[in-house]
Amino acid sequence: MLELHGQQLIGNATSAESDDTFQAANPTTGESLPTVFHEATESEIDRALTLAAKAFVAFRQTSAEDRARFLEVAADEVEALGQQLIDTTMAETGHPEPRCVGERGRATGQARMFAQLAREGSWVDARIDLAQPDRQPLPKPDVRSLKFPVGPIVVFGASNFPLAISVFGADTVSALAAGCPVVVKAHPAHPATCELVARAILKAAEQTGMPEGVFSMVQGRTNAVGLGLVQHPETAAAAFTGSLRGGRALFDAANARPVPIPFYAEMGSVNPIFVLPGALKERGGEIASGYIQSLTLGVGQFCTNPGLVFGLDSEEMSSFVSGAAEGAKAAAPATMLHAGIHHAFTEGVNAMQHRSGLTLVGQSTAPADEAKSEAACYVFETDAEGLRNNPELYEEVFGPVSTVVKCPDGSDLEEFASQMEGSLTASIHGTEEDLANHRGLIDILEKKVGRLIFNGFPTGIEVCHAMHHGGPYPATAHSYFTSIGTRCIDRFVRPLCFQGWPQSQLPEELQDTNPRGILRLVEGEYTKDPVQK
């Protein structure tokens, strides 16, 4: 069992320069946990990123096989932490053991997925256009390009996924797979979990011969640590999952630098569900049950929990609301991640209860224990005028609370979809006839979200090659990019073009013989064959 020390992990060294310390708290009991963690200083942040910049020179030249092996060994080492990691995560988050075990599996599984991506190699999008020296009126040069790592990446650990979107989450493993060193800012709500995982990654780096500085982690609960990481001149890009307020502040800082950098923020959304008439008639009760399950999953602390539900006013819609209300009453309160999230949730629900035109139709029957930071489930109901008079309903309240909106006709559905801000997801429950009758709604939603779901629910994101977990602002800072799935590697690379270079000096992916056997775009056609001249 590893003994925690609460210090910064800067390459192979530890550091604790500051006397400013903090402790995590068990959200179930409110008790402080034993390990004392040191706030990172400006000089420690500087050392971590300076070391990462030095490591980048060597790390970007490592083979794809070496990087893949590094990720696989790191996954093995995270798993080797065993019950200590699970117990630590449970104590810091209030998550039940099955959730922690499942999330660890998601983290190690996606690391191995990125190892396979790096090993296969076609993700670099190699393109080759051959020279035409005799072309008139001007000769055409030999032009080749691929995706090239940008440099040291800063990753912010998320509060709601202490394993899968944190120190060893998709941000970190995709950056490492691309050839970029990583400096992680541990989340102050679960610093011990972060330390355990970071030490496993560093052990893997040593075992696989990676350059020192390929990975570092700093602790901090103040805004100064996050700003210092984003503003450091060696930081090439940063990735963040969290609140709109925090993400926007860091995004602004990234763009205010003398040399702006990409800042990829995933900031949550209301994830609306539209329940169309045909689906209501066929399976309204089933949809209501699934909606409550999605709403309460993870105590409503997923960025994809549904915050708004829309349907046309009818007897079937009233039955749907009744079913959802009964589901909310049966939902047991549960502990939220930490007192800060619980406080914000409580304030948000209290504000909703005082809005005119909004009716609370369902609430957990069992009382929530404030001392344990427990959240009850709440379902509100309103009509079209109620939503028009309460535009605050378009804003996310993080936790198990949602509002059902009964609309007079389809034009209201389109109106409200048009007024929505960018969202990670939207879900449509319907029949094929419903889809044909509401094509205008679909056209609007296609411009508003990153993932459009049919007859399903937004929670339970599949980690796969085709997944897009992003959306127009304010869901994310850059709607073109995803933070889940293999495309998230594209955030940490840029196209680099080689013109007129000799074969011996080209990257393997661009050489005529195609020694890696990857898929390439050669003269406008995709092929794995060697270049024929």
> Look-up: residue for tokens 């912010």?
156
Sign of the torsion angle spanned by Cα atoms 94, 98, 101, 103: negative
**Separation CA 10–CA 17 (nearest Å):** 12
**Separation CA 507–CA 514 (nearest Å):** 10
Structure tokens at 295: 């709403």
Residue 446 annotated in active site: no
Structure tokens at 245: 């307020």
DSSP 264: E
Dihedrals phi, psi of 299, to nearest 5 degrees: 55, 35
**Separation CA 486–CA 488 (nearest Å):** 5
Non-local CB neighbours of 514 within 8 Å, separated by 6+ positions: 520, 528, 529, 530, 531
Structure tokens at 215: 């990975």
Residue 488 annotated in active site: no
**Separation CA 198–CA 131 (nearest Å):** 48
Structure tokens at 12: 């192979």
Non-local CB neighbours of 163 within 8 Å, separated by 6+ positions: 85, 89, 100, 103, 104, 106, 107, 169, 193, 197
Length of the chain: 533
Catalytic residue among 194, 303, 377, 488: 303
Catalytic residue among 103, 266, 374, 396: 266
DSSP 473: T
Work out the angle at residue 467's Cα, subtended by the Cα atoms of residues 466 and 472, and round it to the nearest 5 degrees. 125
How far from 465 is each of 178, 483, 519, CA to CA, in Å? 16, 12, 16
User: Which residues are designated catalytic?
Assistant: 266, 303
